[in-house]
Amino acid sequence: MKLTNQLSKQQFNDVYLFLSKRSYWSKGINQDKLRTALDNSLCFALVEGGQLIAFARVVSDFATFANLLDVFVLEPFRGKGFGKKLIDAVVTHPKLQGLRRFTLATHDAHDLYRQFGFECPTQPEFMMERYDKEVNKRGTNTV
């Protein structure tokens, strides 16, 4: 198994199919929008013989802040420790050290992320967001 920060065309297609069809957070995302997102992120992929196993990406200024996004392990590879290997690779990456804040949003993987030092916000009243849950349904790409 190999960790890479660059996706082949087939690996990009696998990421696209998972995010657009099977994820609860990016269902319906179009390829152009996803390509733009990945081009502007630090991507992490676990691959075996060119086959995508797991994926994550980080958006960061590489000095003070990072946000972990789009984390998944493909169904045939779940329950084998690949999620832990992927998150370990993310949090130990040299460009992601010394950050004041490293955030993520998860619906169901709190226990996994706690193993790597992530906790619920200590001051959630300080956190705000603009969230457009319909953006993928409109199919707009605002880049």
pLDDT, tens digit (0-9, with 9 covering 90-100), for 104-128:
999 999 999 999 999 999 999 999 9
Please report, for the chain, the start and end positions of each structural domain, with discontinuous segments joined by +.
Answer: 2-138
In this prediction, residue 143 has a pLDDT band, given cuts at 50, 70 and 90, of very low
Indicate the pTM of the whole model.
Answer: 0.91
**Separation CA 113–CA 87 (nearest Å):** 8
The pLDDT of residue 142 is above 90 = no
Q: What is the pLDDT of residue 137?
A: 74
At residue 138, φ and ψ (nearest 5 deg) are: -80, -20
E strand spans, the chain? 2-4, 42-48, 51-60, 65-73, 101-104
Cα–Cα distances in angstroms (integers) from residue 74 to residues 77, 103, 138, in the given order:
6, 23, 27
Structural tokens at position 61: 């200024």
Question: Starting from the edge strand earliest in sequence, which strands make up the sheet with 2-4, in order?
Answer: 2-4, 42-48, 51-60, 65-73, 101-104
pLDDT band at 140 (very low <50, low <70, confident <90, very high): low
Mean pLDDT of the chain: 94
pLDDT for 66? 98
Predicted confidence (pLDDT) at residue 18 exceeds the cutoff of 50: yes
CATH class of the structural domain 2-138: alpha beta
* Whole-number percent of the chain with pLDDT over 90: 90
Taking CA atoms, 124 is separated from 38, 65, 82, 103, 121, in Å, by 28, 17, 30, 12, 5
pLDDT in tens, 26-43: 999 999 999 999 999 999
Average pLDDT (32-58) is 97
